[in-house]
Structures are given as C-alpha cells and as structure tokens.
Structure 1
Amino acid sequence: MTFTKPSRRLVSLAAATAATAVLMSACGSPNQTTVKADTSALEKVYEQIEGLSLEERDAKLAELAEEEGGEVMLYTTAEAKDSDPLTDAFEAKYGIKVTYYRAAGEMVAQKVLQEVSANHEGADLYMADAAQGTVLAAKKALAPLKTPLTERLIPGSFNEYNAAIYLLAPVISWNTDLVKDPPKDLEDALTRFKGKFMIEQEDSAWFKGLVQDYFVKQKKMTEEEAVAYVEDALPGAFVVKGHTLETTLLSSGQAEVCLACYYHSITSAKEDGAPVEAMPIADPVPYMFTSAGLPVTTTRPASALLLLDFLLTDGQQLIAGQNRNPSNRDYQGKFKVEEYDSFPYSVNDSEEDLAKWQGIYEDVLAKAGGSVIDKE
C-alpha cells in the first residue's frame, strides 16, 4: 500500500495549479490515442459473463479472478481508514488480495495516464472523482465498463467508462470553538467571513456547479456576476489542497470556516469529538461522484470487475457506515438525494468544459494571494 505522507510545507499557487495543467494536457489532445492497448482479455471476460444472472456472474468472475492469480491492484483517493474495511471485506469474501495505491485524484489520474502512455501494467481498477474519470476516458485510458449494476445507480452517475461508487456532498462547515455565530448560507459565509474561510484548490467542478446551478439558476446572476461575487470574497482566504486536509485544519482550529468540506468527513470528525459542525443537508444539495473504471492496461480484468461489482453491492453498506452516500439506490446513506432539490456534477461533462472551468477557477483562486496549504 502506498500513501502520501504529511510534512510542513507550502507550495506557491502558481506551482500547484500548474500540476492541474499537466494532467489536462497529459498524453496529447483529447482525441489522441497514445497507445493501442490490448483489451482482448477483458473482451473475453465479457463474453464469458454475458447474459448471466448477478449470482452466476459473481461466481464466474470469482473463478476467473483466481485464474488471474488471486490479486488485484486498486488506485484510490480514499484514505486507509476508509479503504481498509472495503478491501478487507472483499478479501474475506473472495480470497482475492487487494493491493492499493492512495493519492489525491489528480495524482491517481496522472499515474494511470503515465502507465497507459508507456503501455505499462499497473492499476486494474481506479477510483477518483468524476472529473478525473472524464479526463481518463477522453485520453483513451479506460476500457468500456459493462455491469448490470448500473441499472441500480442514481441517474447520471455512470457512463460507458465510469460508474459512481459513492456521492460526496460539499457543505459549509465551521469550528465551533472559534465561530459562535455560524454562517447562515453561502452568501453569508462569503461576506461575513471574508478572508477567514478555506477553499479547496482542485474544486473546479464544485465551482462550476456553484456558479451555474446556484448563482445563475437560483439567484438569477449572470456567470460573470457570479464569478466576480466569489472573487470579491477571496482576498486573504486559505487555499487548501485536499478535502481531508481541510477537515483536519478546521478540527484543529487553524481555520474558522470551510466553504465546501465533505459532509461525510465533517460528520465523522464530529463523531470523533472534533469541535466542528456543518450546515444541515437542505435544498439545494450539490453533490459530486467518486467514480471507478478499468484502465485499458489492466492485466486482471475479471478481478477488477469482481472488485467493482463488490463495491457496488456489499461495499455500499460499508460505505454508508463511513457517513458517505452510496450510489446504489438499494442502499441508504445519510440523506436521500431524491428528497432534495439536488444538482449533481455530471460524469458526462466534456474534457473541454472541465478545462475551461479549471482555468476560470485558477484565476479566481489567484485573488486569494499567498500560498496553497498542502500539508498540515
């Protein structure tokens, strides 16, 4: 297992945002295929499980996974405390050993792209936010994904190459020791806590949804007005790399307010005794997906599909226990998406649109000044 280790270091905003540009431009243009990967092994697996019931499919994939060597490699953004229960349960059920590499979403995607470019085997299955999945699919790095379980997923949470494993709901959060009169809504957070809040450095998909679905559709602003409104609140704000780090900084009192900490992370920190609180889930509910897919270079496609199906079934209950929201409608998390006026950040956004909003977001973050906090 590989993890990123914390240190006390700051990086310049220019250097941090440059990393995103590297990912968006990696492996050439969106329509360029750098490697003609051999997916015949995956196609053969699909032929052997076509038309089977879920139970028959599960048994056949388990059999084929054993023939592949009884191991599978996962690249994921989830922390060890969240990944270990899932991989341990999978290993206990099937006897298939899971090795995983954990990093931030952009690092996961970049590692997959590098392996595909070099035609080098590595990940059998990846998990990262839907925006990274869009980039990987556009770069021809993912194989077609076929599982009948997509029929049970929340609408809009899957496409030909990616399937959402769980939802992430960004919520306004604060340190209760430092903030006695918490923000009442987003506008209150941006104005009354100007220069005192955290904003995540890679949240361009969240920002796009915030502008288009909240400020434009609900507050009747133009896109230009919405972007300018957020920019005006940025001077002095803390730009942080990583949602996990945001929760850590908020819990330790190093920041007062977080504009978009993840609901599951704040809930878990609060349960562990941290002095944090989040605004209740209420209309409108923005949410993002953590998606999974098969890199074209996988050498253990049956094992990858078996793990994916597990994450979309048995793993969903474990995910709910981690305060996350399952993507499978047969399992219930902390809130029911269909009960709210929610707006998802789609898995079907184009790479060009993502690149456009990444550029806009970088320009907005530049208004904060200072450096990006990337370690505790």
Structure 2
Amino acid sequence: MNKFRAAILLAPMLLLLACGAPPTASAPEGEGSEAAAEEATAEAVLAELEGLDGDARRERLIELAVEEGATVTLYSSLNAPILDSVADVFEEETGVAVDQYRASSEAVRDRILQEAQAGFRGADVIETNGPEMQILDEEGTLQPFTSPLQEDLGEGSVAGNWTATRFNIFVVAWNTDLVAEGEQPQTYEDLADPQWEGQLAMEIADVEWYRAVWQYLVEDQGMSEEEADELFEQIASNATFLSGHTTFRQLLVAGEYSLVASDYSYGIDAAADEGAPVAWEPPVEPLFARANGIGLANGAPNPAAAVLLTEWLLSDGQDILLENFITPARADLLDTGDADVRTINVAEYLAEQEEWTQRYEELQQFGEVAED
C-alpha cells in the first residue's frame, strides 16, 4: 500500500480498534456470520451457472437466491432516490429484498476495509466510484466475477474483479444565458482566454480530470510539459476553485459563473431537463470518462443473491440508471454521439495519485479558492 493511500485508510481503522466499536453497528441482524459464508460461495454459484445465459440464467439465480433467504446487502454511494428506485425495481422483478448501506464512496470504502480487518462479512455487493473500487480490489476485498453480460458493456468496463455500472463523463459546461451560442469554449486551451477571468469555476478535487487533460495536451497536442503547465496556470488564474460538483453546478445555474471546467455530463443533462440554462454540447473534446462500478464482496453471506443483483444491475438495471440521467455502462445505452470519449485508467491514476494531487493543489494558488 502506498503512503498516500495508507494515510487515507489508517486513521479510521485505528479509531475503530481503539474504541472497540462493532464495524457495522447498523448492519441488518443476521448479516456477517461466518456460518452463512461457509454454506456457499460466489465461485460455486458461478460454476453452477456455467453454460446458462438469458432467462435460464436469471431464473436459476433467483431460485438459488430464494434458497439463501431472498435478501441481499448492497453497500453503495449512488444518490439515495436512485438507489431506492434500483432496489424497488430489483425486488419487484426478482422477489429478492435489498438491504442498503448508503454513504459517500470514501465511507463505503472505509467500512469495507474496517469490516475486512475485523473479520466481519457484512456486504454482499459493493457499488461505488471507480477509484474506491480499485482500492478495494487491490486490498483483496473483492472476489472474481465473470459474466456473459460483461460483453455487452462499453470499452474499459472490466477492471480486475470489478465491473463498470456507470460512467462519470467530465465536460466543460456553460450557462446559456451568459454565454451566447458560438461563444462557448471550443478547446481546453480556450479556458485560458482572459475573457473568462472570474467567470470560470473549477472543482477542487478533480485531480483525475486535470491529469487526463494535461497528458492529452502533452501526448496528443505536442505541447512541452512546461507549455502544458503554463496553460493550466493561465486557466487557474481565471478560476475559482469550489468543492463539490453539485455546488458549482447550482452556482452555474444561478449565473454566479459562466463556465465550469469539469462537471459531470449527467448532472448538466438533468439540470437542463428541469429547465436550467445550461449546456455542454457541442462538447470540448476529448471527453474523459471515469468508470464507477460493482463487485462481489469477498465472503458474501448471500452469494447467489449477490451474483443476481450484480448481473441485474449490469443489464435491466442499466435502464433505471439512464432514466435518472446516469450514464450507463451498457454499450447500447451509452450514447455520446460522435464525441471523442476516452476512459481514464483508474489503476494507473491511483498509482500516480499522490504526485498529481500535489500538483493540482499547487495549481490552485494561481486562482481563488472559495471558503467552505
């Protein structure tokens, strides 16, 4: 484990052990037992499904899940209303109830790691942001999963033991009342134009976006590293750095800013659908997408239900995500038009996260950092 990751994870673990608190004080009763985990394994479930697909596979999984007790425990960072919709439709279609633990991606990650250290098995399925899924995989808390449904997903959707369910696509977005059609940025270089001074918002933690754009400028556009650094300094000098995409999207809608450098496409789409004067198309390209995904928890107490929920969320559940303006991973629903979309390699980003976080924090001195 690198030092940067250790600093993130060690403190809550030490607090947990020092206080003697149970790792999942609010876990549903009966979860996490060693006995339940020994009765069946996801590996055995997947072996039994060998050669089955379509309705036959789904029906057999439902049978096995009902035999287990017809419940599944999901840890997720999906927005609560969307998570409730997913759980309700899944239960209606399969008869299997979903017990939820919903928190931020960091809290989900920490809870899984704490439970693993304590030898407690609370989760069946984990669905959260890509970097956290990758950390959980590297820490050995996910178990192998393969499915015919993975073939139906977009490029870059399978990473180790976790699989993409949705993508966050970073986009430059603008307020259409403040930026006339044809005057919006056409390239990333346009964000450095002095006309945007004081009118641009940047997210204070979008390190992976910064790294991806910087590498594009150097590797694809032929800039020297010094030229790319200078361009970003000029962009930062136009900007106010804010915490949270929801926050700066609300300020964009309200007209406090004309532009945001790296919002999520689904958030802008949802706001526009409600009548807000915001847009991101025609896009500044290339677009950079980060996968968020799902995985089977090691020692899942309900392995058949875990596989059932995972496969359902990679297939029928994708429609629920799309209805809620979440960008789905299923290739036939992943519509970005003719845009050049490039998927961020989460494992490579994490290996360099400490360096790029420091660089992004240093960049912020050229702009204004909003107080919380």
Normalised TM-score (structure 2): 0.81
Letter in structure 2 aligned against 1:309: E
Structural mapping, 1:7-26, within 5 Å: 22-23=7-8
Q: Is 1:139 aligned to 2:142, yes or no?
A: no
Structural mapping, 1:1-376, within 5 Å: 22-23=7-8, 41-180=41-180, 181-191=183-193, 192-213=195-216, 215-235=217-237, 237-281=239-283, 283-329=285-331, 331-336=332-337, 339-349=338-348, 351-365=350-364, 367-371=366-370, 373=372
**Which digits, 9 at most, give the CA deviation of each residue in 1:329-375, with x for residues without a partner?**
2x224425xx44331112443642334333333333454454564xx
- Contact 2:200–2:259 (8 Å) recurs in 1: yes
Aligned length in residues: 344
Q: Closer, same or farther in 2 for the Cα pair 1:305/1:285, shift >3 Å? A: same
- Contact 1:121–1:297 (8 Å) recurs in 2: yes
Letter in structure 1 aligned against 2:211: K
- Secondary structure of 1:78's aligned partner: coil
Q: Closer, same or farther in 2 for the Cα pair 1:305/1:254, shift >3 Å? A: farther
Q: CA deviation at 1:242?
A: 2.9
Paired position in structure 1 for 2:17: none
- Contact 1:27–1:139 (8 Å) recurs in 2: no
Whole-Å Cα distance in 1 between the matches of residues 112 and 242 of structure 2?
24
Letter in structure 2 aligned against 1:200: E
**Which digits, 9 at most, give the CA deviation of each residue in 1:261-290, with x for residues without a partner?**
111110110110122222324642322211
Whole-Å Cα distance in 2 between the matches of residues 84 and 69 of structure 1?
21
Q: Closer, same or farther in 2 for the Cα pair 1:352/1:324, shift >3 Å? A: same
Q: Closer, same or farther in 2 for the Cα pair 1:297/1:195, shift >3 Å? A: farther
Letter in structure 2 aligned against 1:199: M
Once the two structures are overlaid, the 10-residue window that deviates more, 292-301 or 275-284, is 275-284
Structure 1 unaligned segments of length 5 or more: list them. Answer: 1-17, 29-36
Letter in structure 2 aligned against 1:75: Y
Letter in structure 1 aligned against 2:48: Q
Q: CA deviation at 1:53?
A: 2.4
Structure 2 unaligned segments of length 5 or more: list them. Answer: 14-33
Whole-Å Cα distance in 1 between the matches of residues 327 and 214 of structure 2?
24
- Contact 1:195–1:238 (8 Å) recurs in 2: yes
- Secondary structure of 2:140's aligned partner: coil
Whole-Å Cα distance in 2 between the matches of residues 156 and 234 of structure 1?
30
- Secondary structure of 2:158's aligned partner: coil
Q: Closer, same or farther in 2 for the Cα pair 1:233/1:160, shift >3 Å? A: closer
- Secondary structure of 2:246's aligned partner: helix
Whole-Å Cα distance in 1 between the matches of residues 364 and 346 of structure 2?
24
Q: Closer, same or farther in 2 for the Cα pair 1:183/1:351, shift >3 Å? A: closer
- Secondary structure of 2:58's aligned partner: helix
Q: Closer, same or farther in 2 for the Cα pair 1:355/1:117, shift >3 Å? A: farther
Q: CA deviation at 1:57?
A: 2.3
- Secondary structure of 2:348's aligned partner: coil
Q: Closer, same or farther in 2 for the Cα pair 1:351/1:184, shift >3 Å? A: closer
Whole-Å Cα distance in 1 between the matches of residues 82 and 12 of structure 2?
31
Letter in structure 1 aligned against 2:190: D
Whole-Å Cα distance in 1 between the matches of residues 113 and 257 of structure 2?
35
Percent of residue pairs identical: 30
- Contact 1:179–1:256 (8 Å) recurs in 2: yes
Letter in structure 2 aligned against 1:358: T
Aligned-CA RMSD value: 3.0
Letter in structure 1 aligned against 2:81: K
- Contact 2:143–2:161 (8 Å) recurs in 1: yes
- Contact 2:322–2:328 (8 Å) recurs in 1: yes
Q: Closer, same or farther in 2 for the Cα pair 1:79/1:27, shift >3 Å? A: closer
- Contact 1:249–1:255 (8 Å) recurs in 2: yes
Whole-Å Cα distance in 2 between the matches of residues 346 and 275 of structure 1?
33
Q: CA deviation at 1:75?
A: 2.4
**Which digits, 9 at most, give the CA deviation of each residue in 1:18-43, with x for residues without a partner?**
99774366799xxxxxxxx9786222
Whole-Å Cα distance in 2 between the matches of residues 123 and 202 of structure 1?
28
Whole-Å Cα distance in 1 between the matches of residues 223 and 179 of structure 2?
29
Normalised TM-score (structure 1): 0.80
Q: Closer, same or farther in 2 for the Cα pair 1:202/1:210, shift >3 Å? A: same
Whole-Å Cα distance in 2 between the matches of residues 310 and 299 of structure 1?
18
* Rg comparison, structure with higher value: 2
- Contact 2:42–2:304 (8 Å) recurs in 1: yes
Once the two structures are overlaid, the 10-residue window that deviates more, 99-108 or 264-273, is 99-108
Paired position in structure 1 for 2:20: none
Q: Closer, same or farther in 2 for the Cα pair 1:372/1:20, shift >3 Å? A: farther
- Secondary structure of 1:198's aligned partner: strand
Whole-Å Cα distance in 2 between the matches of residues 68 and 252 of structure 1?
51
- Contact 1:104–1:242 (8 Å) recurs in 2: no
